Amino acid sequence: QVQLVESGGGLVQAGGSLRLSCAASESFFTFNAVGWYRQAPGKQRELVANRPRWGSAHYADSVTGRFTIIRDNANNMVYLQMNSLKPEDTAVYYCKGDRADGSDWGQGTQVTVSS
């Protein structure tokens, strides 16, 4: 199992930006894909962005054009750059890594966007 640790969450006004970071305890080459998910109160966890080892990133429709996932294999990091934040982006954001034999999740970081 690989440990993933998120950071960078916080409180921001609508229209602002945040950059989330996720650090892995092992090489990112372990993961076939890395991604960011979020879960708002009373809602199911949903995919925000996913970046495979090879190929293009995939984004949820609700964040396309505003969020960017950045995979840094050399430093075992993945980032989520979030711009033009909206109150509906408020949630706990989780980092996830998909290995050939399973998945690993971080503990989550809270993002709160005020109107």
User: How far is residue 91's CA from residue 43's CA, in Å, rounded to a whole number?
Assistant: 10
pLDDT tens across 88-105, in order? 999 999 999 999 999 999
User: How far is residue 55's CA from residue 57's CA, in Å, rounded to a whole number?
Assistant: 7
CA-wise closest residue to 105 among 115, 89, 94: 94
Could you give the C-alpha distances from 100 to 1, 87, 95, in angstroms and in order?
A: 12, 36, 17
pLDDT tens across 55-81, in order? 899 999 999 999 999 998 889 999 999
Q: Contact, 38 vs 92, CB < 8 A?
A: yes
30 phi and psi angles, rounded to 5 deg: -60, -30
Mean pLDDT of 22-27: 90
